[in-house]
Amino acid sequence: MKVQVRYFASLREALGAQQAVDMPAGSTLGALRDALAASSARHAEVLARGRAVRCAQDRRMCDESTPLIDGAEVAFFPPVTGG
What is the DSSP code string of the chain? Answer: -EEEEEE-THHHHHH-SEEEEE--TT-BHHHHHHHHHTT-HHHHHHT-TTS--EEEETTEEE-TTSBP-TT-EEEEE-SS---
Task: Give pLDDT tens digits for 23-66.
Answer: 999 999 999 999 999 999 999 999 999 999 999 999 999 999 99
Domain architecture of the chain: domains with CATH: 2-77 (3.10.20.30)
Task: Give pLDDT tens digits for 23-32.
Answer: 999 999 999 9
